[in-house]
């Protein structure tokens, strides 16, 4: 948009008057004389315009002028309306640019501007056809975590050279008490070894997610960039069994704001990184020596201990061996989760999926970092158990992860909490079920009453949390006979807490990924429920059309099903059944005499209507309702998507199909 000549002259005069009012010319002369005086002491030197502008910026004169030289939004809009009374496009364009000014940037803070400038060499998608406009296709999405800040990119179509172009503004803040409001200088930033964790997720056309890569970026190379900006390529590796195979390349640009007055030498940064790696490697070596000695002592207690599931190390998604205690941290969810049982419900809504394995053989072990787990939205039982244990610790419970086997066989992990009264409760992280444990006394008289085992677990080899690791050294590892008196060294052999702290405490080694915060849900439950219900109605009508049967909906009956679905979710979350009496009474009133009512509720962890409908039709009872024939048949379907209470867009989807029809003998 160009200004009329009279407006341009008026704007120039306003700026000139403002500069005179601030005595900017006097300040410029003062800075110029001081700068030239300083330069004369260092011999002949060519003083450029760039040096002069840098001196002005260092003194804060440019920031003062730009801060004071602002026109109010109302004045600007009135001026536009006067000059362009019949043109709305310039007004809209300028209005959309308003959020781009500096209102979200604190000039007293230091920021790292990370830009992803595109991807290449994603060879798994070399034959991927160019998506047509409006066509549903697989997408890539990039997730970032840096010092308690989380970001995500827009989804882009999967391709050999995906158009991943996104910018993220990361705040580089201090850690010390009372230091958070001060700008981080070069030395402070050099000591910040927290990496930028990048997680690349692929989502296919059926909304199934796959973890493509997990990468830890050391951003401190920007501290030596002369212009305060650096650009480089990052090779992303695969995960699991493909952790040594390149997945693709990202071009990344890093820039500090405000720019550094003095940059660091490259050798200083390299030396700091080398010292950190050496320190971490030495800590890990000493812990490994201690762990071997501890294991030998454990085996000397009983030869049968060799067969117990005592898990000290586990591989993450990048194939790195880490102590299992490092996967558990104290995690507080703020106001996103309100109780331990709600936390258990949230964890159970993340889908259970074992790590993919190329070819046959035993199950591949892969304990994911927390960011990779929540971004993918699914993981194995170990991922669920470590997340639930972290949340329960955040709620102040004495929680541990148990490693053992289930009654049906096969390794399994679950969570244990100890009450102040000595009670033991097992938490199944995949279902949110809770079991009160009461040990059987093998030395009791034969006729003495014994508690019946209530949990589905068969054996337990060890328990651990963020600061303790204990192996079961009782004569038997059968769960019904185990006594969870963890302070008794004759029953549980503990590792040194100091040794664990040296490699598992936050910030103890550079190989430990920092724990990210949970993010609130971005879904609207009412809108999601309505959309899924409309899709279900369409699918039911199409199915009945193929059967050459008419479809008539009863909206009142559909509405009545809501109370039943709410009761089911409340029971899953709290373990208490309520509201069924009101639902049954309402159905009796809505179904006339001589009519039959049938209902079928089902629960899902996704919002894909076609997948859900195909699953429902596998049930004979549901198929009878959807394909119901008879006199005066009325159908009802109700969908309840409960997402507002759970972070990370985890949703509990309840669908209920129902029908009523006149009974004919």
Note the pLDDT of residue 454.
85
Which of residues 557 and 181 earns the better pLDDT score? 557
The better pLDDT of the pair 85, 456 is held by 456
Phi and psi dihedrals of 653, rounded to 5? -100, 115
Average pLDDT over residues 452-464: 92
Is 559:583 a contact under the CB 8 Å cutoff?
A: no
Burial letters for 41-74: b for 16+ Cβ neighbours within 10 Å, e otherwise?
eeeeeeeeeeeeeebbeebebeeebeeeeeeeee
Q: What is the DSSP letter of 496?
A: P
Integer Cα distance of 355 and 366 in angstroms: 6
- Helix, strand or coil, per DSSP, at residue 637: strand
pLDDT tens profile 202-246: 999 888 899 999 999 999 999 998 888 999 999 999 998 888 999
Residue 664 burial by Cβ neighbours in a 10 Å radius (0-12, 13-18, 19+): exposed
DSSP collapsed to 3 states, 329-372: CCCCCCCCCCCHHHHHHHHHCCEECCCCCCCCCCCCCCCCCHHH
- Report residue 501's pLDDT band, with 50, 70 and 90 as the boundaries: very high
- Beta strand extents in 297-454 (DSSP E only): 313-315, 321-323, 351-352, 378-379, 398-406, 411-418, 424-427, 434-437
| Short-list 394, 144, 149, CA closest to 250 | 144
Cα–Cα distance, 278 to 190 (Å, whole number): 16
Q: What is the mean pLDDT of residues 284-310?
A: 92
**Percentage, residues of the chain above pLDDT 70:** 81
**pLDDT band, residue 642 (cuts 50/70/90):** low
pLDDT band at 473 (very low <50, low <70, confident <90, very high): very high
Confidence of residue 635 (pLDDT cuts 50, 70, 90): confident
Residue 49 has pLDDT above 90, yes or no: no
The residue among 35 and 187 whose pLDDT is bigger is 187
> Which candidate, 262, 258, 251, places its Cα nearest to that of 226?
262
Q: What is the pLDDT of residue 150?
A: 93
Q: Look at residue 92 and tell me whether its pLDDT is greater than 80.
A: no
> Which tokens belong to 84?
């362009």
For range 570-584, the mean pLDDT: 83
Assign 581 a pLDDT band (cuts: 50, 70, 90).
confident
Per-residue confidence (pLDDT) for residue 13, from 0 to 100: 67
> Is pLDDT above 60 for 300?
yes
Winning range, highest mean pLDDT, from 392-401, 548-557, 574-583: 392-401
The token pair that represents 440 in the structure block: 């059987």
**What pLDDT digit, counting tens, does each position of 73-83 carry?**
444 444 444 44
Angstrom distance (rounded) from CA 236 to CA 250? 7
Average the pLDDT over each of 22-26, 132-136, 190-194, 343-347 and give the range with the smallest value: 22-26
382 closest CA partner among 342, 418, 410: 410
Q: Which of 648, 646, 650, 655 is CA-nearest to residue 341? A: 646
Q: How far is CA 212 from the centre of its chain?
A: 15
Query: Count of alpha carbons within 13 Å of 624, Cβ hemisphere only?
Result: 10
Structure tokens at 660: 């009523």
Q: Is the pLDDT of residue 134 over 80?
A: no
Per-residue pLDDT at 42? 47
């Amino acid at each position: 948009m160009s200004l009329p000549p009279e407006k341009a002259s008026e704007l120039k005069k306003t700026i000139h008057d403002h500069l005179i009012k601030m005595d900017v010319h006097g300040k410029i002369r003062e800075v110029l004389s001081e700068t030239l005086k300083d330069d004369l002491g260092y011999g002949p030197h060519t003083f450029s315009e760039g040096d002069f502008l840098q001196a002005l910026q260092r003194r804060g004169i440019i920031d003062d002028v730009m801060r004071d030289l602002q026109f109010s939004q109302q004045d600007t809009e009135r001026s536009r309306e006067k000059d362009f009374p019949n043109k709305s496009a310039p007004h809209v364009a300028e209005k959309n640019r308003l959020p781009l000014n500096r209102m979200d940037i604190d000039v007293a803070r230091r920021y790292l501007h990370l830009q992803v400038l595109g991807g290449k060499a994603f060879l798994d998608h070399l034959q991927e056809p160019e998506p047509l406009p409006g066509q549903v296709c697989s997408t890539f999405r990039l997730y970032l975590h840096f010092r308690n800040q989380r970001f995500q990119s827009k989804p882009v179509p999967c391709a050999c050279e995906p158009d991943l172009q996104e910018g993220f503004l990361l705040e580089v803040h201090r850690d010390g008490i009372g230091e958070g409001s001060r700008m981080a200088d070069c030395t402070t930033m050099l000591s910040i070894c927290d990496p930028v964790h990048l997680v690349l997720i692929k989502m296919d056309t059926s909304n199934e997610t796959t973890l493509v890569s997990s990468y830890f970026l050391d951003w401190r190379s920007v501290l030596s960039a002369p212009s305060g900006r650096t650009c480089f390529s990052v090779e992303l590796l695969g995960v699991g069994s493909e952790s040594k195979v390149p997945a693709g390349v990202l071009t990344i640009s890093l820039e500090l704001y405000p720019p550094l007055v003095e940059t660091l030498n490259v050798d200083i940064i390299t030396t700091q990184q080398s010292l950190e790696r050496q320190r971490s490697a030495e800590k890990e070596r000493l812990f490994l020596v201690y762990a071997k000695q501890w294991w030998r002592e454990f085996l000397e207690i009983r030869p049968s201990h060799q067969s117990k599931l005592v898990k000290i190390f586990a591989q993450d998604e990048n194939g790195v061996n880490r102590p299992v205690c490092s996967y558990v941290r104290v995690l507080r969810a703020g106001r996103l989760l309100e109780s331990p049982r709600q936390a258990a419900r949230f964890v159970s809504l993340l889908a259970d999926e074992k790590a993919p394995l190329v070819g046959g053989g035993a199950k591949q072990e892969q304990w994911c970092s927390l960011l990779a787990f929540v971004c993918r939205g699914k993981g194995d039982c170990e991922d669920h158990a470590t997340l639930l244990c972290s949340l329960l610790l955040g709620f102040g419970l004495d929680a541990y992860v148990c490693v053992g086997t289930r009654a049906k066989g096969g390794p399994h992990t679950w969570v244990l909490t100890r009450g102040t009264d000595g009670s033991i409760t097992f938490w199944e992280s995949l279902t949110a079920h809770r079991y009160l444990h009461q040990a059987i006394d093998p030395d009791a008289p034969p006729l003495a009453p014994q508690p019946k085992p209530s949990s589905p677990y068969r054996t337990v080899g060890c328990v651990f949390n963020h600061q303790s690791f204990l192996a079961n050294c009782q004569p038997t590892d059968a769960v019904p006979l185990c006594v969870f008196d963890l302070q008794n060294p004759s029953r549980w052999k503990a590792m040194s807490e100091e040794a664990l702290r040296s490699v598992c405490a936050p910030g103890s080694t550079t190989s430990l990924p920092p724990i990210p915060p949970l993010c609130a849900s971005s879904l609207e439950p009412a809108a999601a429920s309505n959309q899924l219900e409309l899709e279900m109605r369409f699918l039911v009508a199409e199915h009945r059309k193929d059967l050459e049967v008419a479809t008539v909906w009863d909206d009142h009956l559909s509405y009545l099903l809501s109370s039943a679905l709410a009761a089911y979710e409340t029971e899953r979350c709290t373990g208490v059944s309520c509201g069924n009496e009101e639902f049954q009474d309402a159905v009796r009133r809505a179904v006339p005499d001589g009519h039959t009512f049938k209902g079928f509720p089902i629960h899902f962890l996704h919002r894909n209507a076609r997948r859900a409908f195909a699953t429902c039709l596998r049930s004979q009872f549901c198929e009878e309702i959807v394909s119901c024939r008879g006199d005066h048949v009325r159908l009802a379907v109700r969908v309840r998507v409960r997402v507002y209470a759970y972070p990370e867009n985890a949703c509990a989807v309840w669908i209920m199909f129902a029908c009523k029809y006149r009974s004919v003998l």
